[in-house]
């Protein structure tokens, strides 16, 4: 579905390519819409210019994001006890080539859930299941850095801010938090019984997020 801001109405729905396709998370570039499909183990590319779908076979895709070059990045939670199955994947928008990088720093392996591409091109992701963490993938070197989150706060959604910072929700703890490249986490006020989940960041830098248990949308006003 697409909502037209000019007409303030929904455009005609675009059917998925087959009846078993399960439209999951999506990310939009100037030319494409990328959609994860857990049912069929693929990431779909919907080309805006001609309405054509292309499928890229990948195992259990969860979330997807797009970098400034239009390439799609996606998470594969996999199994932390099965080496190589928990990865961050990349689909080259020009060639269609798919590459994956295990979400391990050599000593700790995590199952990536949500991801975002920061202003500097670094790919950040959350790991909701034990071990819980926030991680960073450097596309230039494929190096992965894992920042474990103490006391299992439930890192869930994650979003990049225009100013270069990265924000994520802590579902169990009940708040939103920011993280620096050094792994320093700054937390917002916790709200009991809220279960923050999805998150985005406004142009002024304020994070907005959903409260799954409270049935509310919240914002953390920084200024």
- Say if 23 falls within a structural domain: yes
Summarised one tens digit per residue, pLDDT across range 63-88 is 999 999 999 999 999 998 898 899 99
Task: Note the pLDDT of residue 206.
Answer: 94
Range of the domain at 6: 1-104
Instruction: Specify whether the CB–CB gap between 136 and 105 falls below 8 A.
Output: no
- Residue 211 is assigned to a structural domain of this protein: no
- Bridge-based pairing state of the strands 175-179 and 185-187: antiparallel
Q: What is the pLDDT along the chain (223 residues), one digit of tens a residue?
A: 899 999 999 999 999 988 898 888 999 999 999 999 999 999 999 999 999 999 999 999 999 999 999 999 999 999 988 988 999 999 999 999 999 999 999 999 999 999 999 999 999 999 998 899 999 999 999 999 999 998 999 999 999 998 889 999 999 999 999 999 999 999 999 999 999 999 999 999 999 999 999 999 999 988 7
What's the pLDDT at 130? 85
CATH number, residue 86: 2.120.10.30
Residue 91 lies in a domain: yes
Residue 142 within any structural domain of the chain: no
| CA 136 to chain CA centroid, nearest Å | 12
What is the spatial order of strands in the sheet that 98-102 belongs to? 64-66, 72-76, 87-91, 98-102
The full DSSP string for 50-92 is: T--EEEEE-SS---EEE-TTS-EEEEE---TTSTT-SEEEEE-
Other Cβ atoms within 10 Å of 163 Cβ, number: 11
Neighbours of 193 (CB within 10 A): 8
123 lies in a domain?
A: no
**Count of Cβ atoms closer than 10 Å to residue 22 Cβ:** 11
Query: Which tens digits make up the pLDDT trace of 171-193?
Result: 999 999 999 999 999 999 999 99
The per-residue pLDDT for 223 is 74
Q: Is residue 24 part of a domain?
A: yes
Number of domains making up the chain: 1
Per DSSP, the three-state class of 9 is strand
Q: Give me the pLDDT at residue 157, please.
A: 98
> Exposed, middle or buried by CB within 10 Å (0-12, 13-18, 19+), for 161?
buried
Would you state the pLDDT for residue 53? 96
Mean pLDDT of the chain: 95
In a domain, 7, yes or no: yes
Give the HSE-up count for residue 74: Cα atoms under 13 Å, Cβ half-sphere: 32
Judge whether 157 lies within some domain: no
């Amino acid at each position: 579905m697409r909502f037209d801001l000019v007409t303030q109405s929904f455009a005609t729905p675009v059917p998925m390519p087959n009846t078993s396709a399960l439209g999951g998370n999506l990310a939009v570039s100037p030319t494409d819409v990328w959609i994860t499909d857990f049912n069929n183990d693929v990431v779909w590319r919907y080309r805006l210019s001609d309405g054509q779908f292309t499928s890229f076979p990948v195992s259990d895709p969860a979330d997807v994001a797009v970098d400034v070059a239009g390439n799609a990045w996606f998470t594969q939670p996999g199994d932390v006890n099965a080496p190589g199955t928990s990865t961050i994947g990349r689909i080259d928008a020009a060639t269609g080539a798919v590459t994956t990088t295990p979400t391990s720093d050599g000593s700790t392996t995590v199952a990536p859930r949500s991801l975002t591409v920061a202003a500097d091109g670094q790919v950040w992701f959350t790991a909701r299941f034990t071990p819980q963490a926030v991680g960073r993938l450097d596309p230039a070197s494929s190096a992965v850095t894992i920042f474990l989150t103490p006391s299992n706060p439930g890192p869930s959604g994650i979003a990049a801010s225009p100013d270069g910072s990265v924000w994520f929700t802590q579902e169990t703890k009940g708040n939103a938090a920011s993280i620096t490249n050094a792994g320093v986490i700054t937390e917002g006020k916790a709200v009991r019984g809220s279960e923050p989940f999805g998150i985005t960041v406004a142009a002024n830098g304020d994070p907005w997020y959903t409260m799954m248990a409270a049935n509310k949308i919240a914002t953390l006003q920084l200024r």
